[in-house]
Structure 1
Amino acid sequence: MFSINLRLGILGLLASTVGGPAYCHTEIQSSTSRRTPVEVTPSLIRASTLSGREEDGRVEQIAFRLAVAGRMRCADLTPNLGLVLQHLSQFELVDRPGMIASQSLDHGPGVIVVVPDSPAAAAGICPGDILVAVDGHALPPETALSASFDAAHAHARTDAVQDLLEKTGTRRFPITLLRKDGVTVTDVTPCPLAHRMPTLHAQTSAMPMPTDAMFS
């Protein structure tokens, strides 16, 4: 497994080669229609993260910047919210009670990173929020919570949530969030960005499981 410093170094080197403004389209249009790009300047503000996940925030912010910069050069675009999620199934069995008590991950995936100037940031989504529904559809529940960690199950859980998010495309849709003060609904408009591999995140538990949200 690559160390977090090595991954940051590689991403930083790539980001340093990106020059000029990047463009993000709020909706995908046909090749025959005229497109009016919205200029997106990479923010100097650090990504908002949960305590202890600052390195994840740095990785995701660089990756988001690269995806924005590659927007006009890549035909393979995916909707991107500019956030990172973590799932209860990503953690070892012994760590799950603590994650449930501190972050309510038994109710859904939790936001650990929000990139500044991203669709998630514009929608008011914050680290610590729990996603419970996307576009009016409840997220698939966590299963086998008492079973030992299984990488295949963790990946399947991540993919199920990712698929639900991607089905919305780039149209505006509501996300239902669980917060300490109750449930709130906010509308978000994904930005179609250059397709990229899920970011590898350093976990505090024994299991180094990647989650992009994306649409992560």
Structure 2
Amino acid sequence: MKLAIIDYGAGNVQSVLFALNRLGYEAEVTSNWNIISKADKVIFPGVGEASSAMKRLQNLGLDKLIPTLKQPALGICLGMQLLCKHSEEGNTEGLGIFDVNVIRFSNEVKVPQMGWNTIKNLRADLFKEIKDEEFMYLVHSYFVPKCEYTIATTEYGIEYATAIQKENFYGVQFHPEKSGNYGEKILQNFLNL
């Protein structure tokens, strides 16, 4: 199986790569259109600030490529947020794959949300053999509200979409690569799609 991890200078690619290695898979960390479009599965990680990350995608032309992918593609953290229409962070236009806006947590909760929290209302094969209320590792100040694409939720002040899906595109707000055995199981489930 050919696996591509999109490299645009805004992803925590090493921890994703190590998690895949632990599962027994090799992956190519790349911004090459040809390699990404021919991969069996694509992982789109993201750490950092939305507008600068989006500029890097645009500079590499990846903003044009990613929406055309037909194979299973998984956005992680900022990667998931960039798959959406718009983010309040830096007033950023996203890739528009998910017709939903990313908004900032209110000041009623500590921002960023950092650490372990539970996921629930799990729908989709991404969560095969994962039980409601398993803990995942999260670090974020912005979130996707519950919407038609929601396949898992988390509560932090409000209940929000911690995972989304539309056709071949999946997004998780948490970091499966940093979430122990259950996070690795989610990565394995993605690879099994």
Q: TM-score, normalised by structure 1?
A: 0.28
Larger radius of gyration: 1
Q: TM-score, normalised by structure 2?
A: 0.30
Return the structure number with greater relative CO, CA threshold 8 A, min gap 6.
1
